[in-house]
């Protein structure tokens, strides 16, 4: 019985999946319409236009074929503007990780200082509150103008967007370390360095990691948009390039892979969070 | 008489509220604790008991007055004075062993890992937690957590143990067991202890001296009760001793009536030398009451409402 | 604007002696035309001098004060004593060692960029000893920023952009040059299929149109076209700036009613059954410039040999592209994902001029798009009049000077000769736009003649 229960959720998932595909298939079934133009004209336009219609949304089969094609050849390189989806994802992940790690390097120590001192917390809070909600793409023109390098700008945008959740969570985590743990450290005459690393850091770690998990999701959201803007390489550029080509199948493939990578990044962070989380 | 381990001279504590009004929690307290002595402090909530303990541990400062430990003024927390916190204050990310080792390696940073482990094991065994070394606090019962707290405090071999209502969060059975453990450990280690409690029976069971505080604000030490019961006590036989009800009645009488009424303005009262009383020896006072209450429960575990 | 004064001309003179506005008199103009090399050398010299002067006196006011105080020739002599001006000039004039062989050139994936793109797969860059990476870019603002940031050595731009950048309109002023036009004609007005019965522009009130960029021929041509049909582009319709890749998607989604766009966007709208081609821009102004090859003045002056080699590749490619018989081959070369990322047939229809119009007809317009690199100064002047007409540019403009400084007609002519093309003998010419003649010598009068304009 319980084994059956265990299967219920996956079965339901599969059902939803096939239902979705079915609806998609039904909605995109080609409507058989007679060709409204002569053959010479028909050769010049797409299949839909030849029957007096707008080009159609791809069917699940079209999409499946495209995904298979990409899976077979994820790492091809046919010049600077045409690389496989695997390479593009690699560029994006690389950018995200560089920007994200830089942000962590800045946010965690800074958040620590802010969290330790209520005065600094109050002094910097207005700046953080103003800077935090700024859309990543709003930074892009500024970054391009001042940094004068699009690769650096993209990384900067990742940095600036992923820095806030980490900074705020670190500060909050550090500030809300239980007084009694600090008192234990004080009565044991533990130095401030050892207190920071042995008491405050592990105590705040779950909160910090939550901030880092939020950050990586944001960073991944931002990179696609940023790359659509700067172009060159990356999955965002891939989407833009295929938009240019109005290739919905390719865009869907990209969307799928963006989702999968995003999920993987999040799962990774969830695992790490679990490592530092403690029950009370 | 030898120099007391702790000497408190005229300490007082004032808080400034939000509206700027100054509240004096307690004022002009004087008392001392001798080496090897077990002193309990009893008083109602709000008389500043925890503040006094924090002052002794060095975590808090007084508004005026001095605290001397071993003849030197307290300037901050010290490894000489270990604290057992009411809420056990274990670090949940560390195991039982880890929590104790944190204290031990803070006390003796030069010790090898193995030496620290051995030392910790000694104290884990002392509090009867053998086998639970690798457990985390979340996997322990309340009583076991407090045992870890006790082991951690003792493991650094402090000159003095400061306990802040250590058993108040535990159920009655566990509390009883732990009280006897503390009794045993103190007998074994001759540890000097200063403990805050509002449990009269706990004080009679454990203490050599019981400091009675009046209600705050402006709390004072009304008197110091000397526990005249013999040192070899057990929870089970405690109430059979003739001194027991006399001391107990005296304490309850104080907590119920006199702690409120005490003004400290009688001409005999000198805050620098609060009266030292021995109600256990005062036969006329309590025997009648003793007889008048034959149906006293076998396990008197009356606690004053906090 | 001020950055464009003749470096050794202390005063600002608005009236010029000759028809192209470049010479002090018509006689000098004729003399220059007789010996094109002289003119080209003169201009080359001026470019170098301008760069040196600008480096020494970054502030215009300072430079003018200095020149007023000592006189231009004294200034020249004085500067020559410590700066080897002669050497710098020579370096530009001669074909020497390439300063840099690996270059990055940015492009927007449209057929206007054909010469820039095709030079890579078809080896025109390699022939000049250059290893050029052509980088697809998301939009003109990014092309501009990346060129300003020196990520790109040169780039595909819209022909009004170098003018706008130099004048500091819509960007920080930066001396820019446009040594070659890439294509002429090649754009079209495309309307949504649902408007197939509204062929008369007078019925377009309330339409929403898209153009690729504010500073584009597309914007100016659409506005011109609408205004000629009595539609005020600022009041009667909405014109938005939409990147070309998004145009078909927007047309499909009914967000816009039509656009004046570069190809392959128009043909792609037909291919997808979304729109029909209403008017080819060659029928608005036959021979109008559209996109351009542009580089910063700094690149031109610091790497003259590389610049020359690069320009020569573009010229050769343009010459190759201008021949009808080569067009199919080019279409195949530039259609793949690395370049335009379009079906080959779409690109082929654009380049060959035999195309489906979206209404079931096959039209044959061999000069739908053509390639002619010569950056006529009069093109720049016309663009400037339109910038003023639609309020992008305020105040007085020295049309001729800006045109001459930015549109490097003489460089182009010299290189065109080298690759076997026949450059025109003049740098300025009259032309007609929708039946109305434009005289580059009288821009202000031209501007005044329009009834519909922003004020």
pLDDT digits 0-9 by tens, B108-147? 999 999 999 999 999 999 888 999 999 999 999 988 999 9
Average pLDDT of every residue of chain B: 84
C138, A81: Cβ pair inside 8 Å? no
| A94–C contact, CB cutoff 8 A | no
What are C187's strand-pairing partners?
A: C262
For residue B107, what pLDDT is reported?
92
Which carries the bigger pLDDT value, residue C276 or residue C244? C276
CB C382 within 8 A of CB C185: no
CB atoms closer than 10 angstroms to residue B85: 24
d(CA A181, nearest CA chain B) in Å: 6
Residue in chain A nearest B161 by alpha carbon: A187
A touches B (3+ CB pairs < 8 Å)? yes
Lowest mean pLDDT among A22-31, C3-12, C151-160, C318-327: C3-12
CATH class of A85-276: mainly alpha
pLDDT confidence tier of residue A1, bands split at 50, 70 and 90: low
d(CA A47, nearest CA chain C) in Å: 8
**pLDDT cut 90: percent of chain C above it:** 7
d(CA C347, nearest CA chain A) in Å: 11
Lowest mean pLDDT among A35-44, A143-152, C167-176: C167-176
How far apart CA B139 and CA B156 sit, in angstroms, is: 24
For residue A259, what pLDDT is reported?
92
d(CA B194, nearest CA chain A) in Å: 15
Helices and strands of chain C, counted as H and E runs: 20, 16
What are C105's strand-pairing partners?
A: C134, C154
pLDDT confidence tier of residue C323, bands split at 50, 70 and 90: confident
User: Given a cut of 80, is residue C86 above it in pLDDT?
Assistant: no
Which tens digit of pLDDT belongs to each residue from C401-417?
888 888 888 878 887 78
How far apart CA C105 and CA C308 sit, in angstroms, is: 14
For residue C48, what pLDDT is reported?
52
Lowest mean pLDDT among A40-49, A260-269, B248-257, C248-257: A40-49
A280, B137: Cβ pair inside 8 Å? yes
Stretch C243-250: mean pLDDT: 83
User: Given a cut of 50, is residue C4 above it in pLDDT?
Assistant: no
Q: Which residue has the tokens 């929708």?
A: C434
C138, A228: Cβ pair inside 8 Å? yes
User: Three-class SS of residue C218?
Assistant: helix
User: Given a cut of 50, is residue B104 above it in pLDDT?
Assistant: yes
How high is the ipTM of this complex? 0.82
Stretch B59-83: mean pLDDT: 88
d(CA B198, nearest CA chain A) in Å: 21
Which tens digit of pLDDT belongs to each residue from B14-56?
888 888 888 888 888 899 899 989 999 998 887 888 889 999 9
C345, A43: Cβ pair inside 8 Å? yes
Chain centroid to CA A74: 20
Residues 74-133 of B with CB under 8 A from A: 76-79, 81-83, 85, 87, 89, 91-94, 102-103, 106-107
CB C412 within 8 A of CB C294: no
Chain A residues whose CB is inside 8 A of the C343 CB are 46
B138, A279: Cβ pair inside 8 Å? yes
Facing A181 at nearest CB: one of B79, B83, B89: B89
pLDDT confidence tier of residue B297, bands split at 50, 70 and 90: very low
CB B95 within 8 A of CB B136: yes
The alpha-helical segments, DSSP class H, found in C204-264 are 217-228, 244-252
Chain A residues whose CB is inside 8 A of the C358 CB are 45, 49
For residue B287, what pLDDT is reported?
43
Which tens digit of pLDDT belongs to each residue from C18-31?
444 455 554 554 54
Facing A278 at nearest CB: one of B79, B92, B107: B92
User: Three-class SS of residue C324?
Assistant: helix
A82, C135: Cβ pair inside 8 Å? no
pLDDT confidence tier of residue A225, bands split at 50, 70 and 90: confident
Question: Domains of chain A: which residue ranges?
Answer: 2-57, 85-276
How far apart CA C197 and CA C286 sit, in angstroms, is: 26
Any residues with CB less than 8 A from the CB of A192 and at least 6 apart, and which?
none
Please provide the DSSP assignment of C334-393 as one string: H-STTTT-S-HHHHHHHHHSEEE-SSS-EEE-TTSEE------HHHHHHHHHHHHHTTSS
For residue A200, what pLDDT is reported?
93
How far apart CA C393 and CA C381 sit, in angstroms, is: 13
For residue C95, what pLDDT is reported?
57
Backbone torsions φ then ψ of B69, nearest 5 degrees:
-120, 120
**pLDDT cut 70: percent of chain C above it:** 78
pLDDT confidence tier of residue C112, bands split at 50, 70 and 90: confident
For residue B92, what pLDDT is reported?
93
How far apart CA B25 and CA B45 sit, in angstroms, is: 11
For residue C54, what pLDDT is reported?
55
For residue C172, what pLDDT is reported?
62
Average pLDDT of every residue of chain A: 86
For residue C9, what pLDDT is reported?
47
User: Given a cut of 60, is residue C94 above it in pLDDT?
Assistant: no
For residue C3, what pLDDT is reported?
35
Residue B224 is given by DSSP the state E
Residue A221 is given by DSSP the state H
User: Given a cut of 60, is residue C74 above it in pLDDT?
Assistant: no
pLDDT confidence tier of residue B209, bands split at 50, 70 and 90: very high
Task: Determine which of A30, A37, A44 to mutate to test the interface with C (most C C-beta atoms within 10 Å).
Answer: A44
Residues C117-132: b if buried by 16+ CB within 10 A, e if exposed:
bbbbbbebbeebebeb
Which tens digit of pLDDT belongs to each residue from A139-189?
887 887 788 777 888 889 899 989 999 999 999 999 999 988 999 999 999
A278, B83: Cβ pair inside 8 Å? no
Which carries the bigger pLDDT value, residue C125 or residue A82? C125
Chain A residues whose CB is inside 8 A of the B137 CB are 280
Stretch B211-219: mean pLDDT: 86
How far apart CA C182 and CA C408 sit, in angstroms, is: 13
How far apart CA B216 and CA A89 sit, in angstroms, is: 68
Facing C360 at nearest CB: one of A37, A141, A242: A37
For residue C21, what pLDDT is reported?
46
Query: Nearest to residue A220, comparing CAs of A152, A148, A154?
Result: A154
Which tens digit of pLDDT belongs to each residue from C326-340?
888 888 888 888 888
d(CA A113, nearest CA chain C) in Å: 36
Which tens digit of pLDDT belongs to each residue from A94-116?
999 999 999 999 999 999 999 98
Stretch B168-181: mean pLDDT: 86
A230, C341: Cβ pair inside 8 Å? no
User: Given a cut of 80, is residue C188 above it in pLDDT?
Assistant: yes
How many contacts (CB atoms, under 8 Å) link A and C? 117
For residue A211, what pLDDT is reported?
92
For residue B300, what pLDDT is reported?
42
Q: Which domains are assigned to chain C?
A: 26-93 (no CATH), 102-184+289-351+369-448 (3.40.190.10), 187-283 (3.40.190.10)
**Consecutive H or E run containing C277:** strand C275-280
User: Given a cut of 60, is residue C258 above it in pLDDT?
Assistant: yes
């Amino acid at each position: 019985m319980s084994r059956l229960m265990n299967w219920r959720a996956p079965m339901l998932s599969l059902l939803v999946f096939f239902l979705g595909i079915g609806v998609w298939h039904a909605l995109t079934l080609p409507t058989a319409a007679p060709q409204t133009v002569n053959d010479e004209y028909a050769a010049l336009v797409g299949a839909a236009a030849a029957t007096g219609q707008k080009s159609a949304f791809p069917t699940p089969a079209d999409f499946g074929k495209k995904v298979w094609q990409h899976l077979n050849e994820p790492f091809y390189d046919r010049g600077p503007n045409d690389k496989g989806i695997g390479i593009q994802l690699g560029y994006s992940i690389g950018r995200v990780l560089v920007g994200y790690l830089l942000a962590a390097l800045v946010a965690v120590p800074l958040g620590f200082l802010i969290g330790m001192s209520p005065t600094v917390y109050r002094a910097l809070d207005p700046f953080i509150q103003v800077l935090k909600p700024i859309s990543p793409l709003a930074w892009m023109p500024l970054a391009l103008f001042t940094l004068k390098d699009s690769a650096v700008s993209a990384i900067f945008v990742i940095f600036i967007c992923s820095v806030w959740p980490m900074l705020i969570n670190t500060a909050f985590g550090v500030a809300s370390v239980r007084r009694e743990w600090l008192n234990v450290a004080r009565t044991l005459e533990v130095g401030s360095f050892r207190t920071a690393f042995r008491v405050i850091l592990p105590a705040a770690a779950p909160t910090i990691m939550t901030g880092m998990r939020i950050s990586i999701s944001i960073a991944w959201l931002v990179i696609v948009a940023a790359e659509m803007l700067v172009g060159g390489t990356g999955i965002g550029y891939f989407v833009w390039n295929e938009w240019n080509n109005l290739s919905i199948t390719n865009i869907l493939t990209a969307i799928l892979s963006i989702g999968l990578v995003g999920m993987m990044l999040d799962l990774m962070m969830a695992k790490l969070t679990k490592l530092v989380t403690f029950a009370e | 008489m030898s120099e007391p381990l702790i000497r408190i001279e005229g300490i007082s504590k004032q808080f400034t509220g939000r509206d700027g009004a100054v509240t004096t929690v307690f004022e002009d307290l004087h008392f001392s604790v001798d080496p090897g002595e077990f002193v309990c402090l009893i008083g109602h909530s709000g008389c500043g008991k925890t503040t006094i303990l924090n002052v002794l541990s060095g975590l808090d400062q007084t508004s005026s007055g001095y605290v001397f430990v071993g003849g030197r003024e307290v300037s901050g927390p010290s490894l000489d004075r270990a604290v057992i916190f009411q809420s056990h204050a274990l670090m949940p990310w560390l195991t039982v062993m880890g929590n104790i080792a944190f204290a031990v390696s803070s006390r003796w940073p030069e010790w090898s890992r193995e030496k620290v482990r051995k030392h910790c094991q000694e104290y884990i065994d002392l509090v009867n937690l053998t086998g639970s070394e690798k457990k985390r606090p979340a996997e322990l019962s309340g009583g076991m957590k407090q045992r870890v707290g006790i082991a951690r405090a003792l493991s650094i071999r402090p000159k003095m143990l400061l306990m802040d209502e250590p058993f108040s969060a535990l159920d009655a059975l566990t509390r009883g067991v732990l009280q006897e453990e503390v009794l045993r450990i103190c007998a074994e280690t001759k540890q000097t202890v200063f403990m805050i409690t509002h449990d009269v029976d706990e004080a009679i069971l454990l203490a050599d001296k019981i400091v009675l505080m009046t209600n705050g604000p402006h709390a004072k030490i009304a008197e110091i009760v000397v526990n005249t019961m013999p040192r070899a006590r057990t929870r089970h036989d405690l109430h059979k001793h003739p001194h027991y009800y006399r001391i107990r009645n005296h304490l309850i009488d104080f907590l119920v009536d006199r702690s409120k009424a005490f003004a400290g303005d009688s001409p005999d009262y000198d805050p620098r030398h609060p009266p030292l009383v021995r109600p256990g020896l005062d036969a006329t006072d309590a025997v009648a009451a003793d007889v008048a209450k034959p149906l006293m429960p076998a396990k008197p575990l009356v606690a004053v409402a906090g | 604007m001020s950055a464009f004064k003749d470096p050794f001309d202390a005063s600002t003179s608005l009236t010029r002696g000759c028809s192209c506005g470049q010479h002090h008199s018509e006689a000098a103009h004729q003399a220059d035309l007789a010996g094109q090399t002289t003119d080209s050398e003169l201009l080359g010299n001026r470019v170098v001098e301008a760069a040196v002067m600008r480096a020494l006196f970054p502030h215009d006011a300072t430079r003018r004060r200095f020149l007023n105080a000592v006189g231009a020739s004294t200034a020249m002599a004085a500067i020559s004593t410590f700066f080897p001006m002669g050497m710098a000039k020579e370096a530009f004039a001669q074909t020497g060692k390439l300063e840099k062989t690996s270059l990055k050139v940015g492009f927007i994936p449209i057929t206007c960029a054909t010469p820039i793109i095709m030079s890579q797969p078809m080896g025109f860059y390699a022939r000049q000893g250059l290893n050029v990476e052509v980088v697809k870019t998301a939009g003109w603002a990014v092309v501009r920023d990346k060129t300003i940031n020196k990520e790109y050595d040169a780039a595909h731009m819209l022909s009004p952009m170098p003018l706008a950048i130099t004048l500091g309109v819509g960007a920080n002023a930066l001396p820019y040059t446009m040594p070659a036009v890439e294509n002429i004609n090649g754009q079209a007005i495309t309307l949504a299929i649902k408007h197939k019965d509204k062929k008369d522009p007078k019925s377009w009130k309330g339409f929403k149109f898209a153009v690729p960029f504010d500073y584009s021929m597309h914007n100016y041509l659409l506005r011109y076209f609408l205004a000629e049909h009595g539609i005020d582009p600022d009041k009667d319709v909405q014109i938005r700036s939409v990147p070309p890749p998004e145009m078909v998607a927007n047309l499909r989604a009914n967000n816009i009613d039509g656009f004046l766009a570069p190809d392959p966007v128009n043909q792609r709208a037909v291919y997808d059954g979304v729109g029909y081609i209403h008017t080819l821009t060659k029928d608005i102004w036959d021979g109008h410039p559209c996109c351009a090859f542009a580089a910063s003045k700094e690149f031109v002056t610091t790497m003259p040999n590389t610049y020359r080699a690069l320009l020569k590749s573009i010229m050769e490619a343009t010459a190759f592209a201008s021949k009808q018989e080569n067009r199919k081959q080019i279409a195949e070369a530039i259609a793949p994902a690395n370049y335009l990322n379009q079906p080959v047939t779409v690109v082929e229809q654009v380049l060959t001029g035999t195309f489906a119009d979206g209404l079931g007809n096959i039209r044959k317009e061999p000069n739908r798009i053509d390639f002619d690199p010569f950056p006529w100064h009069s093109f720049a002047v016309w663009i400037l009049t339109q910038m003023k007409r639609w309020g992008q540019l305020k105040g007085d403009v020295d049309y001729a000077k800006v045109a001459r400084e930015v549109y490097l007609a003489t460089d182009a002519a010299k290189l065109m000769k080298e690759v076997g093309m026949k450059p025109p003998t003049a740098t300025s010419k009259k032309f007609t736009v929708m039946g109305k003649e434009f005289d580059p010598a009288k821009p202000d009068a031209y501007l005044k003649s329009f009834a519909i304009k922003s004020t």
